[in-house]
């Protein structure tokens, strides 16, 4: 189609020989050829055909011109066009790339990477596996802790040493730390176990520490918060991150499950005044181990304090703690108040049991009273029931030996009759019970 137009234009413009319009027509033909081949319009290109060639009707010339025109009509591919474009303007693109890097790299290093690192810290769990508190004193304590820190597995993160402030979440937004915990520099890859052993910490605020420990002892669950700043490195990238985490842990739940497994009276009393010994079970549902020292508990029935019991060198550990307690009970006071005791124990005595409560009295470690532990124990009351006959039987066996069989039968008989023990105790109250002790 293009060829026929070109030839038609050529012939239509041909005048008589020697005419001026011949050159004009020839120029027009050049413009058609140039336009079809994307050549300059000034005619500075090779002429493939003259009037002699056209008049001669040479098939080779016509075929050659047809191929040239048809190939000129084929458009270059997109890839080749782009390549020509970039080759022509590569300097511009290089400058744009340098400008983009100059702007983008600081944003990546100073904004994007730190933001991603902070987001990972905020969303990460910080599980505590073990916690140990020992060597308590008025102004220091020693702690050990095992925690897990998790980062995505493909990455290896280095963290600078830092100091964490431990505080109660109730004090936010004004944090009041009670101790500080030093964390060493660490290399984290995947799920990393971090152990901190036997670090001594200075008590910064005793009241806050007391509130924290009381919450851990009284509640089924309690919270511990930690705050600190450090620098994390991922290869050559670094980020200043802030750790402000609150972790929920299982508490001691007021030592639920406390029980008196056995108890008996010791007469005559030992040299230190001990006249009652008992085996106790103190459950600890938490993961914490705490050295408490020599712990003395008040023994009560109702509101009447009967005496005290001491657990020597007591360290409470996770799980059931079976301990041996030595006590001093004011037997004369018990006999003098047998009526109020019977009234307070009416329901328990009908079942043949006696209810005994224990509350904190003192905690002495290395010969010194530990005030913050004592404050926690003094606000803690634990209660247990045990068979009254069992106490009396155990006591009679220690006192009478082989002659205790008759008393055992008598006491067992009392427990089989509803209200038998109540009547028995009320009967003691009707007489002067001090006569039983020679008083």
Rounded to whole angstroms, how far apart are CA atoms 351 and 47? 128
Say whether pLDDT at 415 is over 60. no
Any bridge partners for residue 142, and if so which? 134, 200
Q: Could you check whether the bond before residue 173 is cis, i.e. omega within 30 degrees of 0?
A: yes
Rounded to whole angstroms, how far apart are CA atoms 82 and 18? 49
The whole-model pTM stands at: 0.69
Structure tokens at 231: 């620098």
Which of these ranges, 5-9, 273-277, 305-309, has the smallest mean pLDDT? 5-9
* H or E stretch at 92: helix 78-107
- Mean pLDDT in the chain? 77
CATH architecture of 126-251: Sandwich (2.60)
* SS3 of residue 238 by DSSP: strand
Which of these ranges, 34-38, 131-135, 200-204, 428-432, has the smallest mean pLDDT? 428-432
Any bridge partners for residue 231, and if so which? 240
Q: What is the DSSP letter of 235?
A: T
Classify 254-429 by CATH class. Answer: mainly beta
| Fold agreement (126-251, 254-429) | yes
Mean pLDDT of 86-107: 74
Mean pLDDT of 402-419: 47
Q: What is the pLDDT of residue 420?
A: 47
pLDDT tens string 371-381: 999 999 999 99
Going from N- to C-terminal start, the domains of the chain cover 82-123, 126-251, 254-429
Nearest to 282 by CA among 241, 242, 313, 311: 311
Say whether pLDDT at 435 is over 80. no
Share of the chain above pLDDT 70, in %: 68
pLDDT tens string 225-278: 999 998 888 877 788 888 898 999 999 999 999 999 988 888 889 999 999 999
Structure tokens at 10: 């050529």
Q: Which residues contact 106 (CB under 8 A, 6 or more apart)?
A: none
Q: Which residues contact 290 (CB under 8 A, 6 or more apart)?
A: 132, 133, 134, 315, 316
Contact 306, 300 (CB under 8 A): yes
Rounded to whole angstroms, how far apart are CA atoms 338 and 306? 11
Residue 401's CB: how many other CB atoms inside 10 A? 9
Q: What is the pLDDT of residue 237?
A: 79
More confident: 425 or 282: 282
């Amino acid at each position: 189609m293009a060829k026929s137009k070109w030839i038609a234009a050529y012939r239509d413009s041909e005048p008589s020989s020697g005419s001026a319009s011949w050159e004009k027509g020839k120029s027009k033909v050049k413009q058609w050829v140039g336009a079809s081949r994307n050549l300059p319009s000034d005619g500075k290109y090779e002429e493939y055909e003259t009037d002699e060639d056209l008049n001669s009707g040479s098939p080779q010339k016509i075929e050659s011109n047809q191929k040239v025109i048809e190939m000129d009509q084929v458009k270059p591919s997109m890839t080749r066009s782009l390549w020509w474009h970039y080759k022509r303007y590569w300097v511009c693109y290089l400058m744009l790339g340098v400008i983009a890097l100059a702007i983008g790299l600081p944003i990546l290093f100073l904004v994007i990477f730190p933001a991603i690192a902070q987001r990972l810290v905020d969303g990460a769990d910080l599980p505590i596996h073990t916690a140990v508190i020992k060597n308590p004193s008025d102004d220091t304590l020693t702690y050990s802790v095992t925690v897990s820190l998790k980062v995505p597995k493909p990455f290896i993160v280095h963290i600078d040493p830092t100091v964490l402030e431990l505080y109660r979440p109730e004090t936010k937004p004004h944090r009041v730390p009670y101790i500080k915990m030093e964390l060493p520099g660490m290399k984290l890859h995947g799920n990393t176990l971090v152990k901190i052993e036997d670090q001594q910490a200075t008590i910064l605020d005793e009241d806050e520490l007391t509130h924290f420990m009381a919450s851990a002892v009284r509640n089924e669950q309690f919270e511990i918060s930690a705050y600190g700043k450090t620098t994390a490195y991922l290869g050559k990238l670094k980020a200043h991150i802030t750790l402000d985490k609150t972790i929920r842990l299982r508490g001691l739940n007021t030592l639920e499950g406390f029980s008196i497994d056995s108890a008996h009276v010791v007469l005559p009393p030992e040299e230190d005044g001990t006249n009652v010994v008992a085996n106790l079970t103190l459950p600890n549902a938490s993961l914490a181990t705490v050295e408490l020292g020599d712990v003395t508990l008040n023994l009560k029935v109702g509101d009447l304090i009967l005496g005290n019991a001491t657990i020597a060198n007591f360290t409470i550990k996770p799980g059931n703690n079976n301990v041996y307690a030595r006590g001093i009970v004011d037997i004369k006071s018990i006999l003098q108040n047998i009526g109020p005791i019977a009234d307070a124990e009416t329901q328990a005595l009908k079942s043949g049991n006696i209810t005994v409560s224990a509350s904190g009295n003192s905690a002495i470690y290395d010969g010194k009273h530990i005030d913050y532990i004592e404050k926690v124990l003094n606000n803690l009351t634990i209660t247990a029931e045990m068979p009254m006959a069992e106490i009396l039987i155990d006591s009679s066996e220690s006192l009478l030996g082989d002659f205790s069989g008759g008393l055992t039968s008598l006491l067992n008989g009392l427990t089989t009759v509803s209200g038998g023990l109540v009547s028995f105790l009320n009967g003691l109250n009707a007489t002067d019970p001090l006569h039983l002790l020679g008083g």
